[in-house]
Amino acid sequence: MIKKEMIAMLLAGGQGSRLGVLTSKVAKPAVAFGGKYRIIDFPLSNCINSGVDTVGVLTQYQPLRLNSHIGIGIPWDLDRNIGGVSVLPPYEKIESTEWYTGTANAIYQNIDYMEQYNPDYVLILSGDHIYKMDYEVMLDYHKQNGAEATIAVMPVPIEEASRFGVIITDENHKIEDFEEKPENPRSNLASMGIYIFNWKALKDSLIALSNQPGLDFGKHIIPYLHEQKAPLYAYEFNGYWKDVGTLSSYWEANMELIDLVPDFNLYEEYWKIYTKSEILPPQYISGDSVIDKSIIGEGSVIDGQVINSVIGCGVRIGKGAIVRDSIIMNRSVIEEGCELYKAIVAEDVTVGTGSKLGIGDEVENETDPHIYNHGLVTVGEKSIIPPGVTIGKNTCIFGVTEAEDYPDGNLASGKTLIKAGEEI
């Protein structure tokens, strides 16, 4: 009989609406990160590096990019005869067909998938964090404690703790209580959304709570187990862990990669991060270019200035262009003489000759101030920006835009320009 000690379930169905137009066509875990990676590469690489070779990836929102990225799991060595990676979308049933209505509901709908591997433990992961973590060490800790469930936690500054689910433990890290985004947190241990469950405990609680609408791990499953007096433990993690759920945190996490010795070091031989590499050739830096403090992916051709930026694969930056403090994703083209300041440019974008992005004063965004802030210019995938326009700060552009979309060749700070047909 097939037997896997621990299998992983990776929640990758969320939209990640706070990433604005970056996630209008792709799920958050498929958003590019760090030049050549996608966010989901980090938990997937952690799995294989930890010896977890069976991973179910739960998809729901815009799964196309995710599906083609994962394929049969070759880049992560997750193409296995037994186990490997499986993409698990919601499916039709004889009665009560429904979408995944919550994190735990998604897992509940895939009990059969987990059952076939006869696991002792199930690892629950989310696809929206950047970190390197050995899940095997966490499993050892889980076993040592004789826990029914273990939650990975991270100490955060107490003033920031109110943004997280906070875990209160005794001196042995046994969980005593938890609070969801408390105003006055009693602890600085934030839940990282990473759980290890004993399979039986997880299965029983999923079935017991199956009628709960929007069944969620943090809100329902963990409190339920706690009520049942099941031993729950917190596993303290002290490495680099970054939530990239907002545009500003996404931008910051990318910028941290270009420090001289980054906190999150991709250059270590140990604990490699794997991804699907589509573009192989080396990058070409021409005689007219200036490069300073940047990382650049394969196959890019640089003719201009790249300063303090993260450039993806197959990007072209034309002569005389200036790219500063920006993120340019795969296959985008920045034509000659453009200037980009604090811009996030998604994949397959063209910025026309001489256009300037990120110019002017900081003005609050008129439509989504909680998304487009921090002085960033965000350009959605496959967008086209015509030549010679000027675009302000806290702006968002999505779709094939033309010169007439820019009154006086200008998109003022705080404006959102989304062309019809590109609904978000």
Partner 1 sequence: MRAIGIILAGGNNHRMKELSQNRAIGAMPIAGSYRSIDFSLSNMSNSHIQKVAVFTQYNARSLNEHLSSSKWWDFGRKQGGLFVFTPAMTADNSNWYRGTADAIYQNLSYLKDSHEPYVVIASGDCVYKLDYNKVLEYHVDKKADITIVCKDMDPNLSVDRFGTIKMNEESRIEEFEEKPLISKSSTVSCGIYVIRRRLLIEMIERCAEEDRYDFVRDILIRYKDMKRLYGYKIKDYWRNIASVDDYFSTNMDFLKPEIRDYFFHQYPDIYSKVDDLPPAKYNSGASIKNSLISSGCIVNGTVEDSVLFKKAYIGNNCYIKNSIILNYVYIGDNTHIENCIVESRGTIRANSYYKGENGVQIVVEKGDRYVL
What does the binding site for partner 1 look like in residue numbers (CB under 8 A)?
34-36, 74-75, 258, 260, 266-270, 272-275, 277, 280-287, 289-299, 306, 310-311, 313
**Which residues have CB under 8 Å from 331's CB, separation 6+?**
312, 313, 314, 315, 347, 348
Whether 419 and 399 have beta carbons less than 8 Å apart is answered as yes
Cα–Cα distances in angstroms (integers) from residue 224 to residues 90, 119, 176, in the given order = 25, 22, 13
- Beta pairing, strands 129-131 & 189-198: unpaired
Which of 132, 203 has the CB closer to partner 1? 132
Number of residues that make up the chain: 424
Residue 348 Cβ vs partner 1, minimum distance, rounded to whole Å: 15
Question: What residue spans of 53-161 are helical by DSSP H?
Answer: 64-70, 103-108, 111-115, 135-144
Residue 40 Cβ vs partner 1, minimum distance, rounded to whole Å: 15
Handedness of CA 220, 221, 224, 226 (dihedral sign): negative
Residue 70 Cβ vs partner 1, minimum distance, rounded to whole Å: 16
Nearest-angstrom CA–CA distance, 115 and 104: 16
Whether 169 and 145 have beta carbons less than 8 Å apart is answered as no
Residue 224 Cβ vs partner 1, minimum distance, rounded to whole Å: 41
CB atoms within 10 A of CB 92: 6
Which of 266, 400 has the CB closer to partner 1? 266
Residue 261 Cβ vs partner 1, minimum distance, rounded to whole Å: 9
Residue 75 Cβ vs partner 1, minimum distance, rounded to whole Å: 8
Nearest-angstrom CA–CA distance, 289 and 246: 32
SS3 at position 338: coil
Residue 335 Cβ vs partner 1, minimum distance, rounded to whole Å: 17
Which of 148, 303 has the CB closer to partner 1? 303
Which of 91, 270 has the CB closer to partner 1? 270
Cα–Cα distances in angstroms (integers) from residue 368 to residues 17, 24, 398, 407, in the given order = 11, 14, 14, 21
Main-chain phi, psi angles of 397, to 5 degrees: -125, 135
Whether 230 and 148 have beta carbons less than 8 Å apart is answered as yes
- Taking alpha carbons only, the member of 305, 317, 348 closest to residue 330 is 348
**Which residues have CB under 8 Å from 349's CB, separation 6+?**
329, 332, 333, 379, 380, 381, 382, 383, 384, 385
Residue 258 Cβ vs partner 1, minimum distance, rounded to whole Å: 7
Residue 238 Cβ vs partner 1, minimum distance, rounded to whole Å: 19
Question: Which conformational region is residue 143 in: left (phi greater than 0), alpha (psi within -120 to 50 degrees), or beta?
Answer: alpha
Residue 323 Cβ vs partner 1, minimum distance, rounded to whole Å: 13
Nearest-angstrom CA–CA distance, 109 and 97: 10
Residue 170 Cβ vs partner 1, minimum distance, rounded to whole Å: 38
